Amino acid sequence: MEGAMAPGMLSTLCDMLKPPEEDSDSDEDKPVSSIAQLNPGNIGTKTKPKKDLGEKKVEKDTKDIWDTEEVQEGSEFESVYDPRPQPEYDIIHKQAVTSEDMFLQMGNKTPATSSCEDMVVKIKLPDTKMPDVTLDVKPKFLDCRTPNYYLGLHLPHPVDHKNGKAQWDGKTETLSVTLRLKREYDFMNF
């Protein structure tokens, strides 16, 4: 092994470069190597305790279970109790692919959902007519109601809720809602 160090030589070199420890009565307290000192608590950045700079901490007098930051976005649109069953639905991601993307791989499109521009939510509503469907779309929440079904769906990505398109297929009794994705880093993917 010319030019490379064996693992035993590397740990010996590390031991030689360490400053001598004081009060070293036994070898049991010393770690075998520097790697042996690592544990799951060493992963990530170290957080230092914040010093009190004269700021008073605001104590909560409420008996709330969650802070407002912990509540999922769109939960204010959900019904507390709705006895109607949830219909079957599928979420499909859709992207515009050109021949340059397909055959020449000149674009930066990948099969991942990060390269998709649209999200299509297909909701199966058996025994339902189109005038009975009520649809409301928020940036992270889709609300679909009929006399027989209720769907309150948290969307996996933020969408442009003002410029969506809904299409009813009477033969399959399916509502297809196409929504343009509005993610934070889309400017890098397109």
Over residues 52-63, the mean pLDDT reads: 59
pLDDT at 146: 93
Q: How confident is residue 123, by pLDDT bands cut at 50, 70 and 90?
A: very high
What is the set of domains in the chain, with CATH numbers?
75-189 (2.60.40.790)
pLDDT at 119: 93
Asked if 102 contacts 66 with a C-beta cutoff of 8 angstroms, the reply is no
pTM to 2 decimals? 0.58
Over residues 107-133, the mean pLDDT reads: 86
How far apart are alpha carbons 147 and 144 in whole angstroms?
10
Instruction: List, in order, residues 6 or more apart from 62 with CB less than 8 Å away.
Output: none
Instruction: List, in order, residues 6 or more apart from 184 with CB less than 8 Å away.
Output: none
How far apart are alpha carbons 190 and 109 in whole angstroms?
8
List phi, psi (to 5°) of 162: -90, -20
* Lowest mean per-residue pLDDT among 14-23, 92-101, 111-120: 14-23
pLDDT, tens only, 161-185: 899 999 999 999 999 999 999 887 7
List phi, psi (to 5°) of 89: -150, 160
